[in-house]
Structure formats: structure tokens, C-alpha cells
Structure 1
Amino acid sequence: MTLPHSDVPSAAGTREGDLAPRLLAWAGDSSGHPRAALVVGPRGAGKSRLLAWLVAQGADTPAVTVHAVGLAAGQTARTLAWQLGRDLGYGPLDPEQLTGRIATDPRPVRLVIADLHRAGRYPHRSPRNTGTAVLTDLLLPLLALPHVRMAIETDTADLAGLEHDALVLNLPSGASHGASHGASPDASPQETDAPPHPGADTPGQDWRLVDPSTREQALDRAMVAGTAPTLIADPGYLVHGPVTAITAALADDSLRVPRRLRSVWDAAAPALSDPHLPDHTRAAVLHAAAVGRDDRLAEYLRPLVQPKPWATRWSLPHRPANAVALLSPGAGSPPATAVAADPLGRLTQLSLSDGRVTGRFTPEPPWTPAALATAAPDCLLALDRSGALRPVPVTADAAVPLALNRLILHHNAASLISDAHRPTALAVAGRHLAVGDREGTVHLWRRNDLLAEPTTVRLHNSAVTALACLETPDGRTALVVTGGLDGTIRLWDSDAGSPLPEPLHRRRAVPTALALTETPTGLLLAAAWSDRQLHLTLLPSGHQTALLTLSPIEALAATADGLIVTVGPGGVQCTETGFFPA
């Protein structure tokens, strides 16, 4: 159930009111023990109201702040993990990914899990769909982390794995005077006696015209009737249907669906699980997952996304990459190819028009790429994950610019002296080259002045995580945009000397990649974030749109006609943005 709004628990003297101080004391206990608080009781006892009260207290008291609320009713371990990851600012992550991400974040985490006793979806179809799996595959691994604490609503204190490390708060029947009376919490979410909507189980119909509850009931009935494969194979149902139910149905390996459908849905479902997505965005996300995996489904979906703000032009989902740069056939020409560096340091040239491979080469000695930038039409500047800079000639007869060698020697020497000066990001624009380091400083070089030292400015209090640069037409000034571990994106005009006093953007996520380019409608800033969002901002108007990504973005590049090339563990993708017309 949805947690009710509540400022205070039930009146003093009731069991609910008596337990509220104990729950609050547990949440604020700095010792971290016990890790879990079980709010136990039958239907109508006031469990949800008590947890809602705890969440409300944290809004004004940082010591008891609840960082994420998971509504477990009808959820699997995987879909509940997506909820929690999104609430925590990490984006939708699978259980193992979420546990690993929280393990690397030392900040205390308090979670509230509502209706654990109602967790599970089609549990008879797969062990992964059971409520027990929610506990064993997600909640217990999270509770094993020393800085995670969890308040859990359940109908029993007999939860395997929590017998000896949980505060149990028992609420008797009727403890809450404000309890709601809805459907029985013991009823399986897929069991329904509601009459079917006319034509609701007919694949191929226009699912936009069917209300959400009827869409969900259609799959519930199809699972019972044995017609679920036909329904799930309907692209319209995939766009508009219930994400949790479809995910649970596809977890049943015996369900016979089109061969590539599971891989498409597996890629798209985490992003689709955001309950606030409009229909055209759902279609764009599903289309992005189908491109490169299921060409037939992709072609069916393309008409649904072409008029909207973005659509995937091509995708290579099985080609993971760490870095990308754009190459032009000559000075002053628009870029024609993208160069992507895979985790082993192999470089692949890809046509921007269709993703076709136009060349491959492996620089020597071996390296682990972190960033690439175009220093000349036939030469790249590369950053290794160790923090070392190096030139990468694209052709056998390419000459490395002298200014590039001086920059490389300077920063590689500085990083040997102090780890704080180790490069973490780079960008090149015309005559300007920019390098960001671990202490948050950006160093801006001019390649036509071999003797001058770089201009430096401290833009962040922590490491620079992303960098983009754009040169003015006269070549005298550079606009530098930086992202930092502090969750901010900042703009620095080298001619002004000082950066803007306030960040362009500040979020509960980390910017992982930036690109800045001139378009016919203004400057386009593309910013990828650690929560799997890609924000496009038109400067100076500030007009913005957000794109959902299927996997983390480690690097990106943008063209003047609105193409965005992104790379990461999920491969290489080229996206068309109608948001910025050419």
C-alpha cells in the first residue's frame, strides 16, 4: 500500500502511539544496532501509519532521515531494487548492483520497506518472483552492510535471517483508529475477480485507450489462461503495460516468447519502471533497447518515437566502451566518424550515419582508456585510467603536435609529484586544451603558445569527473564546463577569468560525461549523470529535456546537428535529438 501522510501517530495511550517513541529512538541510535526494526501486526493495526510517521519525522530531523521508501506489495527483488536505487539517487539498479553501490558509499542509509508480507509477483512461476526472494536476494544483503538500517512492515516477526538482529514492534489488531480498509493484504496481486474490460485481453489493440488497472488485469488473466506469450509479444502492450508484471512474467523461463524479447526487455525495464514516464518516452526507451537487439521490433516502434524529442539512430549494445571522440575528415569539416575505445584499449571507428565499422587499430603500448579527445584530424589525446596522458596517432604518418607533447609531459610529471594533480578528465576545442585533476582544478592550455603556462582555476572541492570545452569563433576564448564529485556542473569563461559563482546544475548524482557544442538554436550542453539520466540544456535560455539511458554513460560526444554519441558498459549508441533542430 502507499504510505499515508501523517504528522503524528495515533493518540497517546494506544499501542501505535506507545511504539512511536521506540521506533524513533531506534532510527536515531548511532550504534547502528539492531539493524532492522520490524513493525508487525495484522491488517488494520496501523503499521503503515506508524512508518509514515517515521518518514515525516525525518523530514525535519537529519539524524532520523529516511533516505528511500520501498513499496514491496506485488514487487520482486529486482523491481523493488529499481525503486530503492532511484530514490537513493543511483538510478534503477539490480539487487547486486544496488548492494555494491551502497557498499562503496560510506554515508548512513535508512530505508523503509512497506508491505513486505505482500511482496512477490506470480510466485508459482519462478523462485525469483517470491516474497522470500525479496528478503534473501535484496533486503538481507543490504542489511549486511554496516551503515544500512531498515524499518520493515510485515505481518510476522518470523523472518529468516533477522531472528537475532531486529527490534520487533508488535501492533495488535485494531490498534490504529485511522486504519484504512482496503483489499486483503494476503491476496496475491495477480488474483482478481474483476470483470474483463471489453477486448482487454486482445493482443494488437490500442493499449493507450485502456486504463492501467485493466492493462494489469489483462496479464494476470493471461498468465492463468496460458495466453501470456501472445500478449507479451504485442509491442503495444510492452509500451503501455505494467512493467513489474511483465518483468515477473518473463522471469519464468518456460514462458515461450520471441527469441530476442527477453534481452530487449531486460535492457529496457529498469528505465521503464519509473512510474512517471509519458507514453512517448516509454516508446523511445523500448525502441532504444530494441535497436541492435531485435531489428523487427525496432522498426515497429520507430514511428512511435520519430516526432518526439529523441530517438535512437543506431546502437551497438554488445560493444562496451570507456571513451569516445569525434573525428572529421579535415579541418573545418563536420565530424563523420566516432572513435570508441573499449576496456582493452582497442579503438574502433564508427560511421555516424549508421554505426558501421570503418576502421580498427590498437595503440601501443597497451592501456586502459578513461577519456579521449580530438587533438588534430589524425591525432587523439588519451587519458589512461592510471591518470597518465598519451598521444594516439590515428594514421601511421600522423604527427603529434608539439603543444600536445608539452602538455602531456607537464601533467604526467605533476601527477608523479602529487596524487592530487593526477588528471581525471580532458577536453579539446580548437586551440584550447583543458585538463581536470583530482583536487578539482582545471588547467587550460593554448596550443599556439608553447612557452606559456596553463591558466588554472579551482572549480570543485573534489575531483573533476567530466569536462567539455568550446572555443569562440575568433579562437581567443574558451568556454569550459566541468562536472565534479560534488554533484555540480560549473561554467568557466576563460576571458572573464573567474567561473560563474553558482553551478549550472546541482543534483544528488555525479556528472559522468559532458559535451558542449554550437547548434543553430544556441549552445547545447549534454550532461550524463550517474543515475542513468542524460540532460540536454540549451544555453543561455536554460531550456532542458531529460533522456533516460539504458545503462551508465562513461563518455559522450555531440554534433552541431543534434546527434549524441554515448558509450559505456551497455555499448555505443547514437541518439537523434529533435529537441535541437538542425
Structure 2
Amino acid sequence: MVTPAPAPPAIQAWPPLAGPAAAVAPALLAWAARDDAAMPRLCLITGGPGAGKSHLLAWLLAGSDGDPRTTVHATVPARGQIAETLAWEFGHQLGYGPLPPDELLARVAADPRPVRLLLPDLHTAGRGPADLPTALPRDAVDRLVGPLLALPHVRAAVEVGQLDLLPAEGALVLTLGPDGYDTGGPPVPARREADPFGTTVGPAGSAPAGSAPPTGGTAPADGPGREPGAPLDWRTASRRSREEALDTALAEGRAGDLLKDPGFLVHGSLPAITATLADRRIPLPSRLRGVWQQAAPALSTPGLADPHRAAILHLAALGAADARLAELLRPLAETHRWTARWYRPSWRPTAAALTAGSAESGERLMTADATGRVRVRRVSDGELVGRVTVDPRLRPVGLTALTDSCALALDEDGMLHPLLLGEESMAPGRVDRLALHHNGVTAAPSSDVRLTALGAHRDRVVLADGAGAVHLWSLSSLDAAPRSIRLHGSGVTAVTCRVLPEVGVVLVVSAGLDGAVRLWDSATGAEMPVPVERRAAIPTAVDLAETAAGLLLAVAWSDRRVHVWQLSEGRMAALSLLHPVDMLMLCADGTLVAAGRDGTCALGLDLDRLWS
């Protein structure tokens, strides 16, 4: 007995559609709603210019969230993009963050969740020098799109213009034309198509029609009354000028001059700059390519304002020790809501914590690396001011400061180790009892739960484990056991606490593999009924601090984003950083230290404007 195909969603739930695309819409909707073996995983949309191919995919996207069977997980227009920039955008939308093509493919392959993608304008992909592979759509297909579509849990609707980019065998082919559509018909002859600005897109690297070539750091005339060839103020330039300037400069052999302009790096086309900088024949300042390589993935975050782009580039320039570029970017970067104070990409800490230090020296940053070496640095400038002698066998994966002279370390086996920061230092009296309690539980033959995170404030220590529970200890009480509560359905990735003596409460914030950030207060013993935040990404670090703006919560995510919450107002500000963050330290003056295996940086948060 043959099981009938399920009925497609009601097309009336989608916006009205006219023209040739209207005839194709039912077939596309039926494809989108089915994921059984009888329906191809790939749908190819082809047809002539102006037939409505991109409009058809936009129509499907507009109503897709109304039915779980048609949910679209990522949509990335391919026009003018290269494999790297396509991968970054797909990574953002899928919750992985900006990843290079090979890492994105590996991440999607390892993730069992079904993925439905829309990819308009694949036949117009490509950017950069015309004689390099990246100038043609075939490069993006071979390096990213083809391998992505070969994964068995990926389904995609792709606009190809013609059927020579992707194999049509086994795919559902919808061909749009002036008189309707057919399936599996012959490909439409190749023709050039209008770009979003109404000009004609020629071969990659050629000058768009109607644009004037720049001279040095100049760009096409932009606006009435402006002399052609005069320096362009990129802050007020049109989107068209920003997008086309480098393509024009390439055609005229002046790309190097344009790329030396810091203003253009801030305002120019991300795919065009990325593709052009890959051409080693273009002479450029020695550190510029390294700065862009660090910054470009973060610059792909959707919706970044110009000052935010400047702040990211300024951070990358500090990390590359490009003092000249950093200084040129600093004025615009300082108009943003955060500005980098320092960045040390050479550090590779596995654990970090803040210590109070003295009134003169300010807060100190304590870091441990993969070899077990523990160092102390100034938060103000990141300079090394001391070392801590530890057991050479200890490899900390977590650190928290208990006092100015004592810290608590967590190793990869879930064991706790008190660390003394000076020869005459002493540990709080009940730290040994706390360590004995949890180390005994972890080492028990019947135990399958180990500690995964820790934090401390004043006389309180909070620990978390792989079963989703947190354990709150008081170092000043005689309690023989902690107060414990299970806050997550899976392992805890980060935890912190804050003593609020004026209200007699200890706030505990935990983050888990379930993508949730939860709040628990010791007064009621109950967790907050809904998470502070839940995302498709994984929270990797949390910290709390009392500042002039009130109690702040910082959360780092696996997609290279950091969210700073003003808890009293329920307001959140998002920061895009260069690398994944494993450890966060938030200071009372608004300094945010972010550390990970790719480096450590300190950002100054403008607490007056951060949430504006």
C-alpha cells in the first residue's frame, strides 16, 4: 500500500504572488513542506532575467515561519559573494558564528538537526581580481555550496539562472519564463542581469557601467555638486559608492591605493575587500592583511553600524601591533559604545580570573595556560606583573579568586585545587573542606558527574557540574554541605555569583549546553521562571559586576558574540568580537576582559550609551 503524500500548507497563508512566479509557487511550497525520500533535497530555480526567481524565494521565506514544515534556517543572497563570506553569513544564521568554509562544513556535518537553506543569485557569486578563481561562481560552488548540499540532512532551494552550476539530476527544477513555467525544461541562455543599483553586472573585476574610476583614495562621484576624482567622505557616501568602489579600482589598477585608506576599510564592501586582499600581487602595508584576516569574520555580523566596524578593526589593529592603523581608526572607534584598550593574541589561556589588587595597582588578571603556568597581569594594560608557582602537574581549566591572595582552580578531571598567590598567603579556613567534599564526590567509583565550572564573590563560592546542577557554598558558615539546585537539563558551561548584602541575597547565574542562561537567588531558593536568555548558540562564559549603571551581566556565546545585560532594566547590548570567548571578567569601571585560546583583550564599555 502506497502512503499518500501529506497535504502541503495552505498557500493562502503566504503573501499574494503575481507574474510567472505565481504558477511555480505551489510546486515550491510542496517541495518545502516535504522532507521524505520521495521529494528531492535540492530545488533549482532557473529562468531569464526579470522572471521573478529571487522574488519567488523571498515569497517562500516571508511565510515560512508560519508552518514548522517550511521553516527556513538560513537565507544568504550570493550576489557578489565569495566562499568565505557566504560561509560567514551561513554560520551566523545557523548559530555557529562566522566560520571558514571547511569549518562550517564540518560543523553542519556533525550537527544532526535538519537544515533548510535558501540561496538566491548563486550564478552571480564571485568577487575580486578577474583572473583569480574567486571571481567566478564556480569557486563558491566547489568550495562551499556543493559540499554543503551533499550532506544528507541539508535541503536547499537555489537560484542558479542556468543549470550548469549545480547538477540537475535528481533535483526538482522549476524554470520561470514569461509564459509560466515547466519542470525539467532546457536551460535558459545566459544573459547579464541588473544589479541592486540598476547598473549592469559584467565579468567579475570589471567596472560597473556608469561609474568613474577612483584616483588613489578616491571613488566615484557621489552626489550633486561634487567634483569627480575629489576625495570621498566615506561616512556620507551612498551604498552604491561603497559597494562598487573597489571593483572599479581593480579595473583601473588602483586597488592598492584604495585599500590603504582606513575609511574605506571601515565603509567598503566586505566581500570585495576580502577577495582583493587575497591577491598577493597588490602591494600593501605589511600588517594590513593580518588585520583584515582577524577582523573580517566579525565584520560579517549583520547590521553593524560604521562605528562598530571601526571598533572591530581597531581591536584587530592593536592585536597585529599595527600602531599607525590603530591610531587612524581610533577617533571613529571611540564614538562606538565600546572601544578596545588592549589585545594580546599571543596568550592562550585555558583559565582566567580577576583579583582585586591594591588601591594603587587596580584589578589584576590571573591567567593559566595549557602548560599549567599561572601569570598575573594588570587589567589596565595587560602587562605581566607576576607569576604564581603551582604544582607542575596541575592544568587549570577554571579559576576564580577567593581573596586577594588565594584562588581556586578547577582541573580537567573536575578536581578543585586551592592556589596561594604569595609566599605568606593563606587560604580561607573552609576552602579545604569544600575541596574535599567535591573531590570526594568526583572521585567516587559510582560517580558519573564532575564539576565543569566555578565562580566566587566575597565569602561565597558557586560550583556547577555536568548534570546541570549548581552548588552554593558559604566560606563563613559551618554548613557541611552546599545548597544545590538543578537549573539545566544538560551540563553547565559557566557559572558566577554576586553577593548583594543590602538585600541579603546571593544571585547565581549559570549557563548551559541547553543554550539557556538562568538566574537563581538564595533568598527564595527558586530559579527565575524563564531564562534570562536562550539562543541556538552555546553560552561559554558569564560574569556579574556592580557598576555605575547598576548590576550588569555579561554573557559570551559560541558564535563570538558577547551580550551585556543591565538586569534592572532588562536591556541587552550585543558585542561582536574577533574570536570565541571562554572566559569573561567584568570590572566595576566598565572594563570587560574577554579571554580565549586565541587571545585576551580588554574593552572599555561606555556605560552611558551602551544600551542606547
* CA-to-aligned-CA distance 1:322-370 (integer Å, 9 cap, x gap): 321012336x998532012223333232211211112345632434443
- Is residue 16–residue 175 contact of structure 1 (8 Å, CA) maintained in 2? no
CA separation of 1:18/1:115 partners in 2, compared to 1, >3 Å: closer, same or farther? Answer: closer
Instruction: Give SS of 1:54's match.
Output: helix
- Structure 1 residue 186, shift from structure 2 partner: 6.5
CA contact (8 A) 1:43 1:185 kept: no
Matched, 1:342 2:369: yes
Task: Work out whether residues 43 and 172 of structure 2, in 8 Å CA contact, stay in contact via their aligned partners in 1.
Answer: yes
Task: Give a deviation string over 1:356-415, Cα, whole Å, max 9, x none.
Answer: 112345632434443211122222212223333322333345434442222223223333
Correspondence for 1:156: 162
**1:481 corresponding residue in structure 2:** 509
Which of 376, 382, 395 is the matching residue for 2:403? 376
SS in 1 for 2:257: helix
Matches within 5 A, 1:190-209: 190=205, 191-196=207-212, 200=219, 205-209=232-236
Q: Work out which of the residue numbers 528, 542, 548 in structure 2 matches 1:514.
A: 542
Question: Contact 1:44–1:175 (CA<8 Å) still a contact in 2?
Answer: no
Q: In structure 1, what is the equivalent of residue 202 of structure 2?
A: 187
Q: Does 1:329 align with 2:335?
A: no
Aligned equivalents of 1:289 and 1:278: distance in 2?
A: 17
Query: SS of the counterpart of 1:81?
Result: helix
Task: Say which is worse superposed, 495-504 or 64-73, in terms of deviation.
Answer: 495-504
Equivalent in the alignment of 1:432: 460
Shift of 1:458: 1.7
Residues 1:576 and 2:591 aligned together: no
In the alignment, is residue 213 of structure 1 matched against residue 240 of structure 2?
A: yes
Partner of 1:207, secondary structure, is coil
Give the 3-state SS of the residue equivalent to 1:338 in structure 2: strand
Q: Name the structure 1 match of 2:435.
A: 408
Structure 2 counterpart of 1:158, which letter?
A: D
Displacement after TM superposition at 1:21 (Å): 2.7
Note the residue ranges of structure 1 that are not aligned, 5 or more in a row: none
CA distance in 2 between counterparts of 1:24 and 1:347 reads: 59
Change (3 A) 1:70 1:175: farther
1:389–1:412 contact (8 Å) kept in structure 2: yes
**1:569 and 1:429, CA in 2 relative to 1: closer, same or farther beyond 3 A?**
same
- Alpha-carbon distance in structure 2 between the residues aligned to 1:64 and 1:170: 18
Shift of 1:229: 0.8
> Could you list the per-position Cα deviations for residues 419-452 of structure 1 after superposition, in whole angstroms to 9, with x for gaps in the alignment?
6632121101111000111222110001123443
CA displacement, residues 479-520 of structure 1 (integer Å, 9 cap, x when unaligned): 111122222222211122212222222333222111101113
Q: For 1:286 and 1:407, locate their aligned partners in 2 and report how far apart those are by CA, in whole Å.
A: 45
* Gapped regions of structure 2 (runs ≥ 5): 1-12, 182-192, 221-228
- Aligned sequence identity (%): 42
Q: Distance in 2 between matches of 1:197 and 1:227?
A: 9
SS of the residue aligned with 1:308?
Answer: coil
Q: Report SS of the residue matched to 2:349.
A: coil
Cα distance in 2 between the residues matched to 1:385 and 1:150: 41
Alignment counterpart, residue 313 of structure 2, candidates 281, 286, 290: 286
Give, in whole Å, the separation in 2 of the partners of 1:459 and 1:203. Answer: 61
Task: Confirm or deny: 8 A CA contact 2:138 2:165 kept in the other structure.
Answer: no
1:141–1:348 Cα change, 3 Å: farther
Q: Which residue does the alignment assign to 1:98? A: 104
Q: What SS does the aligned partner of 2:235 have?
A: helix
**TM-score w.r.t. length of structure 1:** 0.90
What is the CA–CA distance in structure 2 between the aligned matches of 1:15 and 1:325, rounded to whole Å? 58
Paired residue type of 2:510: T
**Comparing 393-402 with 254-263, which one deviates more in the overlay?**
393-402
For 2:293, the aligned partner's letter is D
Q: 1:253 Cα deviation (Å)?
A: 1.7
What amino acid is aligned across from residue 130 of structure 1 in structure 2?
L
Q: 1:78, 1:95 within 8 Å by CA — same for their partners in 2?
A: yes
2:522 aligns with 494
Q: Match for residue 477 of structure 2?
A: 449
- After TM superposition, give the deviation of residue 215 of structure 1 in Å: 2.3
Change (3 A) 1:448 1:69: same
Structure 2 CA distance for partners of 1:85 and 1:59, relative to 1, 3 Å: same
Partner of 1:272: 299
Q: Tell me if 1:86 matches 2:105.
A: no
Match of 1:147 in 2: 153
Residue number among 250, 261, 271 corresponding to 2:288 in the alignment = 261
**TM-score normalised by L of structure 2:** 0.86
TM superposition shift of 1:317: 1.5
**Is the Cα contact below 8 Å between 2:213 and 2:248 reproduced in 1?**
no
Q: Give the 3 Å change call, closer, same or farther, for CA 218–442 of structure 1 in structure 2.
A: same
Question: Partners of 1:41 and 1:187 in 2: how far apart?
Answer: 19
Secondary structure at the counterpart of residue 126 of structure 2: coil
SS in structure 2 of the partner of residue 574 of structure 1: strand
Aligned equivalents of 1:409 and 1:17: distance in 2?
72
Secondary structure of the 2:98 match is: coil
Cα distance in structure 1, aligned partners of 2:132 and 2:213: 28
Q: Please state whether the residue corresponding to 2:430 is helix, strand or coil.
A: helix
**CA distance, structure 2, for counterparts of residue 16 and residue 340 of structure 1:** 61
Distance 1:200 1:53, change over 3 A: closer
Aligned-pair RMSD on alpha carbons? 3.0
Structure 2 residue aligned with 1:171 = 175
Q: Give, in whole Å, the separation in 2 of the partners of 1:311 and 1:300.
A: 14
Mapped to 2, the partners of 1:105 and 1:415 lie a distance apart of: 30
Check the 8 A contact 1:203/1:230 in 2, yes or no: no
Measured after TM superposition, the shift of residue 286 of structure 1 is 1.1
1:539/1:54 CA distance change after superposition, 3 Å: closer
**Partner secondary structure for residue 171 of structure 1:** strand
In the alignment, is the contact (CA less than 8 A) between 2:72 and 2:118 conserved in 1?
Answer: yes
Higher relative CO (Cα under 8 Å, sequence separation at least 6) belongs to 1
- Paired letter, 1:413: G
Does the 8 A contact of 1:40 with 1:168 survive in 2? no
Post-superposition offset of 1:44: 3.3
Q: Which moved more, 1:256-265 or 1:203-212?
A: 203-212
